[in-house]
Structure 1
Amino acid sequence: MYLPSFTLENKLAVVTGGTKGIGKAISLAFAESGADVVIIARNEKDLNETKQQIEELGRNAYTVCKDINQYDEIIEEVEEIRDGKAVDIWVNNAGMNIRSSAEEVTEEEWDRIVSTNMKSAFFLSQYAGRTMKEKKQGKIINISSVGGHTALRTGVVYAMTKSALIQMTKNLALEWGKYQINVNAIGPWYFPTSLTEKLLQDEDYVQAILERTPLKRIGKLEELTGAAVFLASDAGNYMTGQTLFVDGGMTIYGF
């Protein structure tokens, strides 16, 4: 490693939704950078596979098999895992989307998306902030979206929650800065994940995406993880309250 300030050696990181797509890529990147990782997800098979991959990188991996909305139970398990040690890094990555037009959104859809994307992220951040306050140091990273910054054609509730994460990031950074807790967000554009898989098989849809992307291609997951490692490491110590868009330039235009 050429820049020591980017190392995560001796750090304990927690990643929600850490077994697929962006969350898995971040979990493995943290392990490559030296961190031990707690991965939270619903599928035990996926958890075990990701755990093995982290351990093959020479780091410790811990699993919490819970739905993200069971945040009280998640907190209990993380408490047992950390066993009095500090949680150094917390990534709120777990999320969902239902691509209904505004007039088609149901109350059930609203509740599911808001609870998964926003409510759980707040209460888990609250817990992380309390543990980090004890040490007066820590990094919280919220995975937002370009949809939290600019309008999307569908998925209005999803976009609202991602916008809320950006504002939550600013407010928590302001409130917890005195404890040297850095709170930042990452706003991805299109990357290959389970949420985008079907969309990226639609050639017309992909063409519309590329027309709004100056780099004229879909992102690769490994092109996103550097931003996460930067924000989690000492290299990002003077950055807080910010949203780093990893979007191929999309937010230049809007959609």
Structure 2
Amino acid sequence: MWNLKNKKALITGGTKGIGRASVKMFLDLGAEVLFTARNEKEINSFESKLKNEGLKATGIVADSSDSKDIDKIKKWINKNWKKLDILVNNAGINIRKKTNDYSEEEFRKVLEVNLVAPFEISRKLFPLLKKSGNASIINVASSAALQDVGTGTPYSMSKSGLLQQTRSLAVEWAQDSIRVNAVSPWFTKTPLTEGYLHNEEKMQAILNRTPLNRVAEAEEMSSIISFLAMDNSSFITGQNIVADGGMSVNAL
């Protein structure tokens, strides 16, 4: 049971960071994978790299916050799979600013991509998830949903909302055999955090708060996501796994 054989999985934001690591790990575990990204060149490059490793995944150019693109994803799944076993809502953005420096367009964009998009894609794909008879949704949240970690108020708001979305859907959709869980990473090496982590002062502040004295690798997060997607985690729903190297329990 420690595999994802015969599972059909959709991973949003699949060409970078945690999404990319999840695509690779899901394939290694035997799943069939559809992933999305906004950049066609990056999709083609990743598909080619996987092919050279003897793996095959399908990428679709899609913005998960665009309802027309969600319809395109749903159409592909209906045509090729007829059902969906796993949905990983990973796509996300951040704009780091002081609260009063955000334009309305900027903070609404962060909320739209990080909070509204997972809600809408989960709703639209609900019929396909229900057909699975044993589906799993995994939402990639953040430690910023639980503490102020200097990532900006809109980002924290969106990830906190995503945690409650996880809990509410877990209860509502349990009767349809759909589990819903979340993963909340602390700082992880991804393109989204690259610039921030290159700042020596900020990096040292992160390390000072983290008992394991390092930031996470994307593969460490994809391992948790993979477990929550497996049948082995079949009695876990409505939960948030905090993967933070001990940061949240480090008082001094």
- Range class of TM-score, shorter chain: over 0.9
Kept in 1: contact 2:77–2:83 (CA 8 A):
no
Task: Give the alignment partner of residue 237 of structure 1, picking from 219, 234, 238.
Answer: 234
1:81-100 → structure 2 map (5 Å cutoff): 81-83=77-79, 84-100=81-97
1:199-214 → structure 2 map (5 Å cutoff): 199-214=196-211
Kept in 1: contact 2:143–2:244 (CA 8 A):
yes
Per the TM alignment, residue 56 of structure 1 is displaced from its structure 2 partner at its CA by 4.4
Q: Does 1:105 align with 2:110?
A: no
Unmatched runs of 5 consecutive residues or more in structure 1: none
CA distance in 2 between counterparts of 1:51 and 1:254 reads 44
2:25 counterpart residue number:
29
Give per-residue Cα distances to partners, 1:172-228, cap 9 Å, x unaligned. 000001111110001011111111111111111001001111101111122222101
Per the TM alignment, residue 109 of structure 1 is displaced from its structure 2 partner at its CA by 1.0
CA distance in 2 between counterparts of 1:235 and 1:65 reads 32
- Secondary structure of 2:194's counterpart equals coil
Kept in 2: contact 1:102–1:154 (CA 8 A):
no
Q: Does 1:115 align with 2:106?
A: no
CA distance in 2 between counterparts of 1:129 and 1:253 reads 39
Bigger CA drift: 166-175 or 220-229? 220-229
One-letter code of the match for 2:197? Answer: L
Kept in 2: contact 1:91–1:143 (CA 8 A):
yes
Bigger CA drift: 23-32 or 98-107? 98-107
CA distance in 2 between counterparts of 1:139 and 1:7 reads 14
One-letter code of the match for 1:231? Answer: L
Kept in 1: contact 2:187–2:244 (CA 8 A):
yes
Q: Does 1:129 align with 2:126?
A: yes
CA distance in 2 between counterparts of 1:81 and 1:45 reads 22
1:158-177 → structure 2 map (5 Å cutoff): 158-177=155-174
Give per-residue Cα distances to partners, 1:125-184, cap 9 Å, x unaligned. 112322111333201000000001112224100000000010000000000011111100
Unmatched runs of 5 consecutive residues or more in structure 2: none
1:247 counterpart residue number:
244
Cα distance 1:206–1:39, how it changes in 2: closer, same or farther (>3 A)?
Answer: same
Per the TM alignment, residue 9 of structure 1 is displaced from its structure 2 partner at its CA by 0.7
Per the TM alignment, residue 58 of structure 1 is displaced from its structure 2 partner at its CA by 4.4
CA distance in 1 between counterparts of 2:162 and 2:251 reads 19
Per the TM alignment, residue 69 of structure 1 is displaced from its structure 2 partner at its CA by 1.9
Q: Does 1:69 align with 2:48?
A: no
CA distance in 1 between counterparts of 2:166 and 2:251 reads 21
CA distance in 2 between counterparts of 1:53 and 1:239 reads 34
Cα distance 1:68–1:246, how it changes in 2: closer, same or farther (>3 A)?
Answer: same
1:46 counterpart residue number:
42
Bigger CA drift: 230-239 or 129-138? 129-138
Percent of aligned positions that are identical: 39
Per the TM alignment, residue 103 of structure 1 is displaced from its structure 2 partner at its CA by 2.0
Per the TM alignment, residue 68 of structure 1 is displaced from its structure 2 partner at its CA by 2.4
One-letter code of the match for 1:160? Answer: M
CA distance in 2 between counterparts of 1:175 and 1:81 reads 23
**Deviation >3 Å, runs of 4+:** 53-60
Cα distance 1:143–1:160, how it changes in 2: closer, same or farther (>3 A)?
Answer: same
Q: Does 1:13 align with 2:15?
A: no
How many residue pairs align between the two structures?
A: 251
Give per-residue Cα distances to partners, 1:225-251, cap 9 Å, x unaligned. 210110001111110000111111112
CA distance in 2 between counterparts of 1:82 and 1:131 reads 8
Per the TM alignment, residue 49 of structure 1 is displaced from its structure 2 partner at its CA by 2.0
